[in-house]
């Protein structure tokens, strides 16, 4: 549908329709990149107001400093240090939603292979990835684009592969018990 604005017809932007159309492809943003689009779809465009709010928030946040929480697992077998680590993980999870672990004992070669595995997945045929595309958080393996697609003001330019390895009652317990 279009509305005439003087001599120019301006299309009506139906955000929900565009979000649904994007989500129903089950192909994510990688499909857009592979299609070599020349114009970013409007659902991904952030308004000037949204950008201004984000910039104001970043300026208030410790003078633009964005240090990712770093948690050192050295000494985790010592009861007191273990409790400190649990508190650090809890705080980082509540305030940031993620953190970086050091001294975890996982060889660099294993971590590099995990990264390469994720890259290989994202380069797979779209039909294969569609089989795993879901917003159902109860699934152990999920591929999706923008877990908050219908709630956020603008979509993020990202696709995500989630793999649930442990399903214990508490993520805090899961992390510590894995170590």
> Is the CB of residue 133 less than 8 Å from the CB of residue 26?
yes
Give bridge partners of residue 163 from the DSSP assignment: 141
160, 144 Cβ separation under 8 angstroms: yes
* Cα gap 132→145, rounded to integer Å: 11
Q: What is the DSSP letter of 44?
A: G
Domain-located, residue 2: no
Q: Is residue 4 part of a domain?
A: no
d(CA 102, CA 43): 37
Specify the pLDDT at position 174: 36
Q: How many CB atoms lie within 10 A of CB 22?
A: 21
Q: Is residue 1 part of a domain?
A: no
User: Is 166 in a helix, a strand, or coil?
Assistant: coil
CB 130 within 8 A of CB 27: yes
Whole-angstrom distance, CA of residue 163 vs CA of residue 4: 49
In a domain, 8, yes or no: no
How many domains are there within the chain? 1
Residues of the chain under the 70 pLDDT cut: 1-8, 10, 57-66, 166-179
The tens digit of pLDDT for each residue in 137-156 reads 889 899 999 888 998 888 98
CA angle 87, 90, 92 (to 5 degrees): 105
Quote the pTM value.
0.64
Residue 42 sits in which domain range?
13-178
Does 5 map to a domain? no
Amino acid 131: pLDDT: 94
Nearest to 69 by CA among 108, 103, 106, 97: 97
Q: How far, in Å, CA of 24 to CA of 155, rounded? A: 15
């Amino acid at each position: 549908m279009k509305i005439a604005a003087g001599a120019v017809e301006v299309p009506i932007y139906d955000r929900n329709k565009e979000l649904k159309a994007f989500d129903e492809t089950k192909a994510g943003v990688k499909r857009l990149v592979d299609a070599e689009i020349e114009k970013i779809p409007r659902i991904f465009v952030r308004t000037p107001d949204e950008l201004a709010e984000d910039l104001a928030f970043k300026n208030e946040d410790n003078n633009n400093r964005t240090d990712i929480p770093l948690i050192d697992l050295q000494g985790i077998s010592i009861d007191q240090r273990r409790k400190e680590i649990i508190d650090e993980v809890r705080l980082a999870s509540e305030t940031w939603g993620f953190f970086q672990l050091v001294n975890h004992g996982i060889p660099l070669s294993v971590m590099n292979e995990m990264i390469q595995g994720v890259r290989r997945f994202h380069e797979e045929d779209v039909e294969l990835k569609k089989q795993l595309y879901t917003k159902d958080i109860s699934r152990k393996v999920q591929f999706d684009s923008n877990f908050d697609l219908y709630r956020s003001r603008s979509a993020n330019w990202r696709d995500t592969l989630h793999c649930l390895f442990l399903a214990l009652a508490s993520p805090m317990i899961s992390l510590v018990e894995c170590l």
